[in-house]
Structure 1
Amino acid sequence: MRTGMLALAAGLLALRFLPQLPSGGLLVLLSVIGLMLLPFRTYPLALFLFGFSWACFQAQRALDDRLAPVLDGQTLWVEGRVVGLPQRDEQGVRFELEGATSRRARLPVRLRLSWFGGPDLRSGERWRLAVQLRRGQGLLNPAGFDYQAWLLARGIGGVGSIKDGQLLASASGGWRDTIRRRLLQVDAQGQSATLVALVLGDGSGLSAQTWRVLQDTGTLHLLVISGQHIGLFAGLVYALIAGLARYGLWPGRWPWLPWACGLAFAAALGYALLAGFGVPVRRACVMLAMVLLWRWRYRHLGAVVALLAAVNLVLLFDPLVSLQAGFWLSFAAVAVLIFTFSGRLGAWSLWQSWTRAQWVIALGLFPALLLLGLPVSLSAPLANWIAVPWISLLVLPLALLGTFLLPLPWLGEGLLWLAGGLLGGLFQWLGWLAAQVPAWVPAVVPLWAWALSGLGILLLLLPAGMPLRPLGWPLAALALFAPSAQVAQGEAEVWQLDVGQGLAILVRTRQHSLLYDAGPRVGEFDQGERVVLPSLRKLGVRRLDRLLLSHADADHAGGALAVRRGLPVSEVLGGDVEGLSPALQARPCVSGQRWEWDGVRFTLWRWPQARDSNQSSCVLQIEANGERLLLTGDIDVEAERAFLDSPLAVASDWLQSPHHGSRSSSSLVFLQRLAPRGVLISRGRGNAFGHPHPQVMARYKALDMAIYDSAEQGALHLLLGRFDEPRSLQAERRFWRQ
């Protein structure tokens, strides 16, 4: 049985690692072969082929439901129903539209839309909307969130921004939205948004600071991943009935175990409906059902069988869930607990079990977090040791009971006020802990070091006294101290990060690092904090020798403060110092300033007669082994003309497109003098400025320049000094990036 279940799970999980999907004909052939092999001893191979074919069929179905390329950028009138919980912030509202239809084209079943300055939408309303449609494509960086995979896993076939809309029908069936609005009106000692996350699984109202605290302390799963809440609530109901039975308070004519399992699952289903029955919730319900069924009837089969059955059921219902990190982490945590606590001699006290559970989960998930590229919370064992019982035994029962009793305001609101106070006290402590021990973002670990580190973790999870167990710590430490790839002497590693409509370029030599611009910031959306800083850490940058801000515009210098707070920075230079924040302590960029790092030469230029911030951009020339790269910021035609009189106006191999390819830059004479063989464009896909301008693109192509565009190719990686072509992250093939 276990062999067959493992084979089926392996086939279903293979989808996650495919660079592209097999053809439909090949999948049919594999399915037929699987059916033919099923009656024989080769049934594990048959189950593997069945799982693989089923997962690929479902993935192809989701890909076929995505917005057609011909509709990308078009504006259509669309009708549909608002589903889920609309998310409102200072800029507008974001929501999902289901059953989207248009008279002019076939649309995906579900769209994710943004309405800047839009009205107060309610779940269940039906709208007619003028939508500028886009194919879902997020930023693509070394440590970035894979937005395309996330959309595909949620069944969202396209995104868009709303230009106008008409309400066709009022809300029907939007009871979760009604509950959320009521919770937000309650005086919960400043924790109303946190209670909404806890009760409804909606974390849209949490501040950026709250998200950071939860991530740094490894407690994110307790407040905003409602699948975790399902398990906590069901476990509380089960423990209550088991406790009553143990002390003789449960009716003797009713067998306590079936009742405990049945009522726990009923409670879980009720909470699942409250939480919206989304993908994490469905996964939690399936896992819980298998655990309760195993506990009631099939304990002799072992916990591993229950775990494998849960994995297979979840993947059969939704194979694309394997694209989400939460799937791997949740099942990995359960597997670690089963491995650690099963088959041990002697009994552990409740205190020993609880304490060890937190440490073994932290150790066991370390290889998974490394492989998924997620931050590692060093304070998670201590934080969860306190936070899990605090939430599950105190806050969650009060929050749910208070929510159900809201029709009795004096009682329901009182319970929620108390729950909010308990949450506030917990967050004060978690905030202090996060400030002392922030999350660690590890650099990319070589595969051999990761494998040996994983082996070390496995040894540490073995019972005490097992042979070779002492070797676990040095092997596990390899992931922390593994040698990273070094930049060769005389060469420079260049990363143009994908920050949307802005610029951030990392330049590394063998012993030094420079960041040219730090990405944009618009309101709370700080790409310096969200993209640049995590990418720098993932690439192994632990300090910056120089932060060079071309000028003071928010799309270039907006993320600078976040970078300066997150990493030690030896020096900050700026082309428009007057416009920069005084907290940066920037010194002015001086034309002619030169320095050399590890055999790589750097030279600055700035137009003294500049009349605005764009013209004041500090230009940087980098030369490694005779190969040149010119970083130009946002200089315009006039500044380009002045630049041509400088000593830096020589042939260059690579050019960072001035002003994101704006029509006001990249003059013909400027391009002819530099004669670059390629241009690097950093811009936001579908940006409001129309960058890059068609005339500029035509100019690049007429001069036979290779074009590398972050909006189409994601982050770009260039090894300056080798005369190779840049490599884009989009070139790393994944089937969902087709």
Structure 2
Amino acid sequence: MRTGMVALALGLLALRFLPALPSVGWWLLMPVAGLMLLPFRTYPVAFFLFGLSWACAQAQWALDDRLPSSLDGETRWIEGRVTGLPQHGEAVVRFELADARSRHAKVPRLMRLAWYDGPPVNSGERWRLAVKLKRPAGLLNPHAFDHEAWLLARRIGATGSVKGGERLSEARWAWRDGIRQKLQTVDAQGRTGALTALVLGDGAGLSREDWQVLQDTGTVHLLVISGQHIGLLAGLVYLLIAGLARYGLWPNRLPWLPWACGLAFMAALGYGLLAGFEVPVRRACLMIGLVLLWRLRFRHLGAWWPLLLAFNGVLLLDPLASLQPGFWLSFGAVAVLIFTFGGRLGPWRWWQTWTRAQWLIAVGLGPLLLVLGLPISLSGPLVNLLAVPWISMLVLPPALLGTLLLPVPYVGDGLLWLAGGMLDWLFKGLTVMAGQIPAWVPVAVPWWAWSLGALGAILLLLPQGVPLRPLGWPLLLVLVFPPRPTLPDGMAEIWQLDVGQGLAILVRTRHHALLYDAGPRVGDNDLGERVVLPTLRKLGVDGLDLMLISHAHADHAGGARAVAKGLPVKRVISGEPGELPTELQAGDCESSRQWTWDGVNFELWRWADARESNPKSCVLQIEANGERLLLTGDIDTAAERALLDSPLAVATDWLQSPHHGSRSSSSAVLLATLQPKAVLISRGQGNSFGHPHPSVIARYRARGMAIHDSAEQGAIRLQLGNFKPPWSMRQEPRFWRSAK
């Protein structure tokens, strides 16, 4: 039976790694084949086919419920019910609309919407909304968070922005939102957002600085409800009833063990529902239920069996859960603990158990965090020694009890005030630690190196005295100091990052790195911090020899400050140095300035007579082994004419589309003179500017130019100097990524 459960788990999990879904006929045939194999005692194969078939069916239904391409970018009237907990930000409210329908078109049942400068929106309300619809999409960059996979895992079939609407009915059965609104009125000593995250699993009230502190210290799991909180509450209820029975305070007519098990599970389930029943909570509730069931029947249940059943239970309920990083971290942490503490010949003292558990989890989850592209907290093992009992013993009990007793005057408020104070003390300590030891963003490693590092982590988790265990340290160090491929002299690696409506291009030679523009920043949404800086680190860029900001517009220069803060930058130059933040100490773009790095030639140009920002863009020509790329910023047709009188007006293989493909650029005379074979376009999907303009695309196609668009292809990698086609992120085979 256990072999069959393992095979079922592998079948359910195989979905995550499929480059494409099999046709409907194949996944309908798989369970039939499984049933035919059962009489021949080939249970593992049959169970694997059952799991894979069910997972493929669920994935196909989710894909079929996505917005049709014909409606992408259109505005439609939609009716639906607000679900979950709406996130009220500065001048915007984001929420999910369930049971969505439109009179004149078939739309996805679940959408994620944003309403700028709109009225308050509460869970459970029904609305009729005018929505500009978009197909599920996200920025695609190397080793980065896959937003499109996250949307599919949550079965969100469309996103959109609300243009207007009317409320059709008031909230119904929105008890979680009601609790949140009450919590937001409580004096929690400035930690209302953290308290709401702990009680309800709603992290919308945490500031960006709070999230960074939690990430740097490896304590995100403490504020986003995890299985630890669920298990703690169930254990407290069980121990309370067991203690009452032991001292004769439990009614004799009620058998204490069934009541202890039943009430403990009800407490766990209730807290799980309060928290939104996400993957870690589902896993915890299933495991607690199994353990209590076996305890009730006086049978010893090994630790791996309930973990396996919980694993299958979560995936059977939602096979797409494997697309979320939280699924892997949740089960991975429990598996590390079971592997570490299971089969030991002698017990550890309590302090040894506690300290070793922390660093062993750090070692065991390190390779998993790396492959998921997540930062690794270096201070986490130390911080969690204090933070875990602080939250579990001092914060969580008054927080939950205070929430339950909110209707009682003064009592509920007092308990929540106490919990908020404890949280504030914790955050002050975490902030100090985060300032001293920030999270480490490791360099992406090849699969063979990752496999060696993962093997090293497994060896270190083994008990002392096991042969070959000491080899774990050198193997693990492969992840810390991975081999890095080097470019030959005369070659340049070009990465046009996917930063939406903006520009960021990384240029690397054998020993040097240059960043041309740093991505956009709109309000608090800094893509230099969120996308450009982490991507540079994961690509192995330790510092920049030059950061060239074409001009001072926010879609090109907005992320420059974050990049300069996060990486050593030797020099900054720009077409508008005086308009950039003073701490960047930017120099002027000097026309005709040339230099050579590792056999690759660079030359600058700027229109001296430019009066406005866009035509002042600093233009960069890169030549490697006779192959040329021209980076043009946002120059317009007037600047293009001036460029044609410069030394850069030579045959060019690659052109970065001026001004994102605006019709005020890419003039016919520029294209005729440069004769580019291909063009790189960096822009946001469905942007409000209409970039690239159809007339510009028509000119490109008329000349037979290959068009490479970040909105369609994600980040694009070009090896300048080998005259080969580029590679794009969307070429990575993933069943949830449709070719655009």
Specify the TM-score bucket, using the shorter chain as the normaliser.
over 0.9
State which drifts further: 654-663 or 227-236. 227-236
Distance in 2 (alpha carbons) for counterparts of 1:232 and 1:120: 36
- In the TM superposition, what whole-angstrom CA distance separates every residue of 1:216-274 from its partner, at most 9, and x where no partner exists? 11111111245553233323333444566677766677665544332221111111222
Residue in 2 that maps onto 1:523:
523
Equivalent positions of 1:615-654 (< 5 A) are 615-654=615-654
Residue in 2 that maps onto 1:453:
453
Residue in 2 that maps onto 1:56:
56
Distance in 2 (alpha carbons) for counterparts of 1:228 and 1:710: 41
Residue 67 of structure 2 contacts residue 135 of structure 2 at CA under 8 Å; is this kept in 1?
A: yes
Distance in 2 (alpha carbons) for counterparts of 1:356 and 1:257: 33
> Aligned in 2, Cα 1:565/1:244: closer, same or farther, shift over 3 Å?
farther
Shift of 1:476: 1.0
Distance in 2 (alpha carbons) for counterparts of 1:237 and 1:385: 24
Kindly indicate whether residue 520 of structure 2 is the aligned counterpart of residue 511 of structure 1.
no
Give the partner amino acid of 1:374. Answer: L
Distance in 2 (alpha carbons) for counterparts of 1:409 and 1:612: 63
Shift of 1:309: 0.8
SS of residue in 2 equivalent to 1:408: coil
State which drifts further: 229-238 or 542-551. 229-238
Distance in 1 (alpha carbons) for counterparts of 2:243 and 2:492: 65
Residue in 1 that maps onto 2:311:
311
Residue in 2 that maps onto 1:102:
102
State which drifts further: 474-483 or 286-295. 286-295
SS of residue in 2 equivalent to 1:106: coil
Distance in 1 (alpha carbons) for counterparts of 2:542 and 2:245: 56
Give the partner amino acid of 2:462. Answer: L
Residue in 2 that maps onto 1:420:
420
- In the TM superposition, what whole-angstrom CA distance separates every residue of 1:537-569 from its partner, at most 9, and x where no partner exists? 110111111111001101101011111111111
- TM-score relative to the length of structure 2: 0.97
SS of residue in 2 equivalent to 1:96: strand
Kindly indicate whether residue 582 of structure 2 is the aligned counterpart of residue 582 of structure 1.
yes
Distance in 2 (alpha carbons) for counterparts of 1:137 and 1:690: 18
Distance in 1 (alpha carbons) for counterparts of 2:698 and 2:228: 53
SS of residue in 2 equivalent to 1:568: coil
Residue 519 of structure 1 contacts residue 556 of structure 1 at CA under 8 Å; is this kept in 2?
A: yes
> Aligned in 2, Cα 1:665/1:287: closer, same or farther, shift over 3 Å?
farther
Shift of 1:33: 0.9
> Aligned in 2, Cα 1:254/1:488: closer, same or farther, shift over 3 Å?
farther
SS of residue in 1 equivalent to 2:453: helix
> Aligned in 2, Cα 1:286/1:353: closer, same or farther, shift over 3 Å?
same
Residue 291 of structure 2 contacts residue 301 of structure 2 at CA under 8 Å; is this kept in 1?
A: no
SS of residue in 2 equivalent to 1:615: helix
State which drifts further: 449-458 or 133-142. 449-458
Residue 145 of structure 2 contacts residue 373 of structure 2 at CA under 8 Å; is this kept in 1?
A: no
Shift of 1:166: 0.9
Give the partner amino acid of 2:702. Answer: A
Residue in 1 that maps onto 2:557:
557
Residue in 2 that maps onto 1:609:
609
Shift of 1:279: 4.6
Distance in 2 (alpha carbons) for counterparts of 1:269 and 1:516: 52
Residue 197 of structure 2 contacts residue 223 of structure 2 at CA under 8 Å; is this kept in 1?
A: yes
Distance in 2 (alpha carbons) for counterparts of 1:36 and 1:25: 17
> Aligned in 2, Cα 1:189/1:364: closer, same or farther, shift over 3 Å?
same
Give the partner amino acid of 1:237. Answer: V
Distance in 1 (alpha carbons) for counterparts of 2:215 and 2:59: 30
Distance in 1 (alpha carbons) for counterparts of 2:88 and 2:507: 38
SS of residue in 1 equivalent to 2:136: coil
Residue 200 of structure 1 contacts residue 226 of structure 1 at CA under 8 Å; is this kept in 2?
A: no
Shift of 1:2: 2.0
Residue 183 of structure 1 contacts residue 196 of structure 1 at CA under 8 Å; is this kept in 2?
A: yes
Kindly indicate whether residue 13 of structure 2 is the aligned counterpart of residue 32 of structure 1.
no
Residue in 2 that maps onto 1:676:
676
Structure 2: 5+ residue stretches without partners: none
> Aligned in 2, Cα 1:355/1:317: closer, same or farther, shift over 3 Å?
same
Residue in 1 that maps onto 2:368:
368
Kindly indicate whether residue 383 of structure 2 is the aligned counterpart of residue 383 of structure 1.
yes
Distance in 1 (alpha carbons) for counterparts of 2:405 and 2:693: 59
State which drifts further: 21-30 or 221-230. 221-230
Give the fraction of aligned pairs with identical amino acids, expressed as a percent: 69
State which drifts further: 679-688 or 174-183. 174-183
- In the TM superposition, what whole-angstrom CA distance separates every residue of 1:407-446 from its partner, at most 9, and x where no partner exists? 2242211111111111011011111111111111111112
Give the partner amino acid of 1:211. Answer: W
Distance in 1 (alpha carbons) for counterparts of 2:439 and 2:613: 36
Equivalent positions of 1:221-620 (< 5 A) are 221-225=221-225, 227-241=227-241, 257-297=257-297, 299-620=299-620
Give the partner amino acid of 1:691. Answer: H
Residue in 1 that maps onto 2:77:
77
Residue in 2 that maps onto 1:733:
733
Residue in 1 that maps onto 2:198:
198
> Aligned in 2, Cα 1:675/1:298: closer, same or farther, shift over 3 Å?
farther
Residue 233 of structure 1 contacts residue 392 of structure 1 at CA under 8 Å; is this kept in 2?
A: no
Residue 226 of structure 1 contacts residue 275 of structure 1 at CA under 8 Å; is this kept in 2?
A: no
> Aligned in 2, Cα 1:475/1:115: closer, same or farther, shift over 3 Å?
same
- In the TM superposition, what whole-angstrom CA distance separates every residue of 1:165-187 from its partner, at most 9, and x where no partner exists? 01111111112112112211211
Distance in 2 (alpha carbons) for counterparts of 1:248 and 1:678: 83
> Aligned in 2, Cα 1:172/1:653: closer, same or farther, shift over 3 Å?
same
Distance in 1 (alpha carbons) for counterparts of 2:82 and 2:361: 39
Shift of 1:707: 0.5
Distance in 2 (alpha carbons) for counterparts of 1:18 and 1:568: 39
Residue in 1 that maps onto 2:65:
65
Give the partner amino acid of 2:68. Answer: A
SS of residue in 2 equivalent to 1:477: helix
> Aligned in 2, Cα 1:593/1:38: closer, same or farther, shift over 3 Å?
same
Distance in 1 (alpha carbons) for counterparts of 2:182 and 2:215: 28
Equivalent positions of 1:683-702 (< 5 A) are 683-702=683-702
Give the partner amino acid of 2:516. Answer: Y
Distance in 1 (alpha carbons) for counterparts of 2:728 and 2:143: 14
Residue in 1 that maps onto 2:92:
92
> Aligned in 2, Cα 1:238/1:595: closer, same or farther, shift over 3 Å?
farther
Residue in 2 that maps onto 1:659:
659
- In the TM superposition, what whole-angstrom CA distance separates every residue of 1:189-236 from its partner, at most 9, and x where no partner exists? 110011111111111121111111111111111112455532333233
Shift of 1:608: 1.0
> Aligned in 2, Cα 1:650/1:298: closer, same or farther, shift over 3 Å?
farther
Residue 198 of structure 1 contacts residue 229 of structure 1 at CA under 8 Å; is this kept in 2?
A: no
> Aligned in 2, Cα 1:141/1:248: closer, same or farther, shift over 3 Å?
farther
* CA-based RMSD: 1.6
Residue 279 of structure 2 contacts residue 327 of structure 2 at CA under 8 Å; is this kept in 1?
A: no
SS of residue in 2 equivalent to 1:712: helix
Residue 714 of structure 2 contacts residue 730 of structure 2 at CA under 8 Å; is this kept in 1?
A: yes
> Aligned in 2, Cα 1:339/1:644: closer, same or farther, shift over 3 Å?
same
Kindly indicate whether residue 724 of structure 2 is the aligned counterpart of residue 724 of structure 1.
yes
> Aligned in 2, Cα 1:668/1:50: closer, same or farther, shift over 3 Å?
same
Residue in 2 that maps onto 1:120:
120
Distance in 1 (alpha carbons) for counterparts of 2:39 and 2:711: 51
State which drifts further: 224-233 or 383-392. 224-233
Distance in 2 (alpha carbons) for counterparts of 1:17 and 1:167: 42
Distance in 2 (alpha carbons) for counterparts of 1:466 and 1:227: 31
- TM-score relative to the length of structure 1: 0.98
Residue in 1 that maps onto 2:132:
132
> Aligned in 2, Cα 1:359/1:246: closer, same or farther, shift over 3 Å?
farther
Number of residues paired by the alignment?
A: 738
- In the TM superposition, what whole-angstrom CA distance separates every residue of 1:74-106 from its partner, at most 9, and x where no partner exists? 111110011111101113111000110111111
SS of residue in 2 equivalent to 1:204: helix
Residue in 1 that maps onto 2:175:
175
> Aligned in 2, Cα 1:592/1:298: closer, same or farther, shift over 3 Å?
farther
> Aligned in 2, Cα 1:470/1:650: closer, same or farther, shift over 3 Å?
same
Shift of 1:298: 7.1
